[in-house]
Amino acid sequence: MRSDEATKGIERMPNRALLHATGVTRGQLAKPFIGVCSSFTDLIPGHIGMRSLERKIEWGVCSGGGVPFLFSVPGICDGIAMGHEGMHWSLPSRELIADMIETVMQAHRLDGVVLLTNCDKITPGMLMAACRLDVPAVVVTAGPMHSGRYNQRRLDLVRDTFEAVGLCQAGRLDEEDAAALEMEACPGEGACQGLYTANTMACLTEAMGMSMPGTATALAGSAKKARIAYEAGERVVALVRDGVTTRQIVTKGALENAIRVDLALGGSTNTTLHIPAIAHAAEVDVTLDAFDRLSREVPQLISLRPAGEFMMEDFEWAGGIPSMLKALSPRLDKKCKTVSGKTVGELVATYPDGDKAVIHTLDDPVAKEGGIAVLRGSLAPEGAVVKQGSVNPEMMKFTGTARVFEDEGAAMKFLFAGKVKPGDVLIVRNEGPKGGPGMRESLALTAAVAGCGLGDKIAIVTDGRFSGGTRNLSIGHVSPEAADGGPIALVKDNDKIAVDLPARKLDLLVDEKELARRKAQWKRPAPKFQRGWLARYERLVSSAARGAVLDPPVA
């Protein structure tokens, strides 16, 4: 075992002495040492219930014959960080989380790890670490939040608070109702109730085989979630003894299964950053192109908020990821291993059919194509991403007039001043991985646009990214980004922008000679941060089209 390096031999007497100081017995030195990496924090609703899950995981590790060692990583709530300077640090935190886990696991020579996570960048950061380390690992996601309630209707964070901002601005929501929505939308622990980034990544983690069956949609605070946490603790010890490591599970086939599930769900566009980054850590060839290729083969089978009316609790009661895998069975790579010890095919054979009112079949899909599309063209030569499952059919082809903003705040002021008109294309640039830096999410803008009643009348195009809660014609991840001199840096007010989702095209309708003239005059903007972590991040980070990873691509 890896831990033998710290525990075996006369020369390791000092190491053992320090381990005994933590309470480890002589007998435990011969057992697998298992990290329990928790992202518990009082700062995030999705993580406040993790203390009890930590205990269940520890119980499971002990039951399985291992020795649990709890350590922690920080987390950021994108909803709380949204709309201000704090959002610069969200995506970069993914890299810090991966680095910290790698550091602790390597320094202490732990044999395996259970990764307790839930929200946004924490889950992909943990998966990246597991893939880099290639040790036995199981991921436990802490679960979705229950819906809120007000005036006999169900509430969720995005539609009933973020989009309510636009309603207030438009005079369509009074202060009393706004205050009630603010208080009732989030009733307690868990990841926000729709198919936003946290819940999307939980679903994809289970789909790629890194979580125990049923983990993704088991609701926060439930006994089912507690039992799954216990089973994960037991299971990781068995993986150590059987020599089953992360890279045996996170293969190209497994990641493409995850993408298929993502497309069938109509999940967050942030997965187009995270899956390539996980693949990069695992040294697997899965890129942005896989999303577009598979989106033409895999239909969307469910309509969850923000695009539809179902919430994660409905998905759980309809059968969750097991029933989604059952519905997608003919399209999956069934040979892939999972942390359960069974292959995808063996698991699917035992899974029940889901509630067809919620989880549609391949013969009766919600939409013929998957929920995410990758666009290319003169405005985005390396690609751009849109959640096409959330776009009004009338907006699938759209040509509009550019209104150019150098950051999200300027676009928000323009919107709230009542200056946005139907037919506009809001170009929000210098928000990419380098230009942001940190590729801030634009949920505040997209939600305000929807709340103002303009969601199906305009487009938003940015080199930044969007929350999983975004809907309508919101196109992000435009690459190359403005800070790298990409075409989005050359757009001017009143230019025409053409979007054709069926043809996967995003074009700037400006003569090539004129673009060449603008390019010659362009100057790289000065870095926004001169010191600290974000200054280093800006110098190291790659394009969104490569997952915004820090190190160079594998040769």
Cα Rg of the chain, angstroms: 23
Token digits for 18? Answer: 């320090």
Spatial separation of the C-alpha atoms in residues 247 and 134, rounded to whole Å = 6
Spatial separation of the C-alpha atoms in residues 309 and 51, rounded to whole Å = 32
DSSP for 377-434, written as a single string: ETTEEEEEEE-GGGS-GGGSEEEEEEEEESSHHHHHHHHHTT---TTEEEEE-S-STT
Within the chain, which residues score under 70 in pLDDT? 552-555
Q: Would you name the residues annotated as active-site residues?
A: 467
- Give me the pLDDT at residue 493, please: 98
Spatial separation of the C-alpha atoms in residues 163 and 390, rounded to whole Å = 15
Spatial separation of the C-alpha atoms in residues 250 and 163, rounded to whole Å = 37
- Give me the pLDDT at residue 226, please: 98
Q: Which amino acid is residue 182, in one-letter code?
A: E
499: part of which helix (H) or strand (E)?
A: strand 496-500
Is residue 57 within 8 A of residue 36, CB to CB? The reply is yes
- Give me the pLDDT at residue 198, please: 96
Give the Cβ contact number of residue 134 at 10 Å.
Answer: 15
- φ, ψ of residue 377 to 5 degrees: the values are 155, -165
189-to-47, 51, 118, 469, 537 alpha-carbon distances in Å: 7, 12, 11, 18, 32
Spatial separation of the C-alpha atoms in residues 408 and 440, rounded to whole Å = 9
Domain boundaries, the chain: 4-16+28-143+186-350, 373-546
Domain 373-546 has CATH 3.30.70.260: no
- φ, ψ of residue 125 to 5 degrees: the values are -60, -40
Four-residue CA torsion sign, 225, 229, 235, 239: positive
* Of 303, 369, 363, residue with least CA distance to 504: 369
Residue 505, class by beta-carbon neighbours within 10 Å (0-12 exposed, 13-18 middle, 19+ buried)? middle
- Give me the pLDDT at residue 81, please: 93
- Give me the pLDDT at residue 552, please: 64
Spatial separation of the C-alpha atoms in residues 42 and 426, rounded to whole Å = 36
Spatial separation of the C-alpha atoms in residues 426 and 461, rounded to whole Å = 6
